[in-house]
Chain A
Amino acid sequence: MIEAKGLTKRYGSTLAVDNLSFTIEPGRVTGFLGPNGAGKSTTMRLILGLDRPTSGSVTVNGTPYAKHRRPLTEVGALLEAKAIHGGRSAYNHLLAIAQTNHIDKKRVGEVLELVGLSARAKQRAGNFSLGMGQRLGIATALLGDPSILILDEPVNGLDPEGILWIRNLLKHAAAQGKTVFVSSHLMSEMALTADHLLVIGRGRLIAAAATSEVIELSSGNHVRVRTPNPDGLTRLLDDKGASVTRVESDSSLSIHGLTIEAIGELAAANGVILHELSPVQASLEEAFMELTEDAVEYRAPGTAGDGIPT
């Protein structure tokens, strides 16, 4: 469990994180979304006590991070790929980190095995690819077998097989009751991995809701209709207050503001023939773009979805 209350970080005149309050619950994958520069990495550094908040506070498992005696057994973090001395081997890199938290040497071999780096463990890490660097970073996060995982862009630089591996790893960790907090700019990946989303823009909270809820509330959701009588149907829909857009490419209608049932019943009651009546769901990407395009205009909502325009 990660709890932030009024978390604020100012660098000079820039407000990187602006009065963020949130709770990251255990037992699910929480995706952390926001455009570049929204304050995601800063928020993660604040959680880990690497940066000091200007005001507000954040705790992990009920205690500020820096107060934990062996923090790696509580929180495992991946902040940047390839944060390793190029001349040091992956094994020695992990061994040094393990020693600081009195973690058994055996565990180093285990996590190397787990991330698939055993064969390269004794080589100088300077030759590692970005993907291998990510795997090493994830090995670092797993070292203390923590109950909280904080990963900043973990799929960056990974091949499709690696991405699938991460996805399963995160879901498995959440299923075990761990708190999993993961940032990404890949919406499609988040839609597949995250159960819950925390969306921020310009340092402020825009939405905190279930992934499915965020997509549902998007204005990208609409109903697609094809009919031989578009003018007639449009008139009927207008009367009901729906907004109708003619899609020129295939002369279909794109309808917002009425449920698919209401549209079908309306057409039947007025004898309008329909060739197609189908729901179109927005992608998380569309929902995200819509949420963040005017990020600065929205106040931080107290409850899920408040900040989502409809």
Chain B
Amino acid sequence: MNLALFRDVFAAEWTKLRSVRSTYWCGLLAIVVGIGFGAAISAGNASEYKSADLIDKVMFDPTALSTAGLFFAQLALGVMAILVMSSEYSTGTIRTTLAAVPQRGYPLAAKTALLALIGTFVGVGTAFASFFVCEPIFKHYDIPRDVSIGAPHVLRAVLGAGLYIGVMVLFALGLAVIIRHTAGAITTLVGIVFIVPIVTQLLPDSWQEHFSRYLPANAGSAITSTVHQSNSLPPWGGFFVFVGWAALSLAVGWYLLRTRDV
């Protein structure tokens, strides 16, 4: 690893990212959707709490609801990450990039570091902002829970929801390196994050236990709950399975980038 080269390539990738509008649109959309949907979902669930079944009351998780908007925000930041790579292919600048830096791992490493920083920063910031916006909502509806950042597991869950976004953008970046097309990569991301978990819910319970909870989004979102769900992985265990998915996605992308003609 040549640190001086990495610094140069990182500076270049930062120039590229900050000089296109899509970066700002995706970032803004993620924050607005993250907080807005979080508040709406929290308000909706909190207002129905009193009329809920006992089981729903036991499983009621204000923290997870307050950061639920990030489940949708991840798509906006995932698209940002995909565009960072796929736009190089659609415009032909990938050849300029790789001619300037023939050590092909470096541009990918720089993109990875940059997106990890931005994804984590925006994700954690949005998660905490969303939590503090939603906290008074639950108080307003007199939910009999300690809804504060100091309550058991709450800090871990809110922070985890932000970290989840940081990992998700890397998973998306890896997909874009592998697929090389904007639409194809976005479709694949939506499929893996939104469609596959729904489809697997149709499978028998025994399958879910062995399969569904290891899926990227299911494993990664375990950390956002303060109430343990029987069919999900433990919080940090699930998070590291998700990190593994992102690492796999990037590793396959890295291998292909190194070996493919451009």
CB neighbours (8 Å) of B259 from chain A are: 52
Contact A52 B261 (CB under 8 A): yes
CB neighbours (8 Å) of A246 from chain B are: none
Contact B20 A50 (CB under 8 A): no
- Cα A82 to Cα B96 in complex, Å, equals 11
Within 8 Å by CB of B8, from A45, A66, A86, A101, lies A101
Asked if B201 lies at the interface with its beta carbon under 8 angstroms from chain A, I say no
Contact B19 A50 (CB under 8 A): no
Contact B261 A97 (CB under 8 A): no
- Cα A77 to Cα B12 in complex, Å, equals 19
**Whole-angstrom distance between the Cβ of A98 and the nearest chain B Cβ:** 8
CB neighbours (8 Å) of A100 from chain B are: 8-9, 12, 97, 100-101, 107
CB neighbours (8 Å) of B20 from chain A are: 85, 87-88
- Cα A92 to Cα B19 in complex, Å, equals 7
Within 8 Å by CB of B92, from A68, A83, A87, A88, lies A83
Asked if B3 lies at the interface with its beta carbon under 8 angstroms from chain A, I say no
Asked if A32 lies at the interface with its beta carbon under 8 angstroms from chain B, I say no
Binary contact track B97-110/A, C-beta < 8 Å → 1, others 0:
11111110001000
Contact A102 B8 (CB under 8 A): yes
- Interface size on A, as a range, is 35 or more
Asked if B93 lies at the interface with its beta carbon under 8 angstroms from chain A, I say yes
Main SS at interface, chain B: helix
Contacts known (A45-B261, A100-B8); A92 close to B15, Cβ less than 8 A: yes
- Cα A304 to Cα B8 in complex, Å, equals 44
Binary contact track B61-93/A, C-beta < 8 Å → 1, others 0:
000000000000000000000000001000111
Contact A83 B96 (CB under 8 A): yes
CB neighbours (8 Å) of A87 from chain B are: 19-22
CB neighbours (8 Å) of B12 from chain A are: 95-100
Residue of A nearest to B261 (CB): A51
Contact B19 A49 (CB under 8 A): no
CB neighbours (8 Å) of B87 from chain A are: 85
Residue of A nearest to B2 (CB): A69
Asked if B95 lies at the interface with its beta carbon under 8 angstroms from chain A, I say yes
- Cα A86 to Cα B93 in complex, Å, equals 11
Binary contact track B10-53/A, C-beta < 8 Å → 1, others 0:
01110110011110000000000000000000000000000000
- Cα A177 to Cα B196 in complex, Å, equals 61
Asked if B5 lies at the interface with its beta carbon under 8 angstroms from chain A, I say yes
Asked if A72 lies at the interface with its beta carbon under 8 angstroms from chain B, I say yes
Residue of B nearest to A95 (CB): B15
Asked if A65 lies at the interface with its beta carbon under 8 angstroms from chain B, I say yes
- Cα A93 to Cα B88 in complex, Å, equals 12
- Cα A88 to Cα B18 in complex, Å, equals 9
CB neighbours (8 Å) of A66 from chain B are: 102-103
Asked if B55 lies at the interface with its beta carbon under 8 angstroms from chain A, I say no
**Whole-angstrom distance between the Cβ of A58 and the nearest chain B Cβ:** 13
Contact A84 B93 (CB under 8 A): yes
Residue of A nearest to B16 (CB): A96
**Whole-angstrom distance between the Cβ of A54 and the nearest chain B Cβ:** 11
Contact A71 B102 (CB under 8 A): yes
Asked if A79 lies at the interface with its beta carbon under 8 angstroms from chain B, I say yes
Within 8 Å by CB of A80, from B8, B15, B92, B261, lies B92
- Cα A102 to Cα B6 in complex, Å, equals 11
Asked if A48 lies at the interface with its beta carbon under 8 angstroms from chain B, I say yes
Asked if B202 lies at the interface with its beta carbon under 8 angstroms from chain A, I say no
Asked if B262 lies at the interface with its beta carbon under 8 angstroms from chain A, I say yes
Residue of B nearest to A46 (CB): B261
Contacts known (A65-B102, A101-B8); A80 close to B95, Cβ less than 8 A: yes
Residue of B nearest to A150 (CB): B99
Contacts known (A80-B92, A97-B100, A140-B96); A51 close to B262, Cβ less than 8 A: yes
CB neighbours (8 Å) of A97 from chain B are: 12, 96-97, 100
Besides A50-B99, A85-B20, A92-B19, 4 more A-B contacts (Cβ < 8 Å) are A84-B93, A96-B13, A96-B16, A99-B11
29 A-B Cβ contacts within 8 A?
A45-B95, A45-B261, A49-B98, A49-B102, A51-B262, A66-B102, A66-B103, A72-B99, A72-B100, A75-B99, A79-B92, A79-B95, A79-B96, A80-B92, A85-B20, A85-B91, A87-B21, A88-B16, A89-B19, A92-B15, A92-B16, A95-B12, A96-B15, A96-B16, A96-B19, A97-B96, A100-B8, A100-B12, A102-B8
Nearest 3 A/B pairs, CB to CB: A83-B92, A66-B102, A92-B19
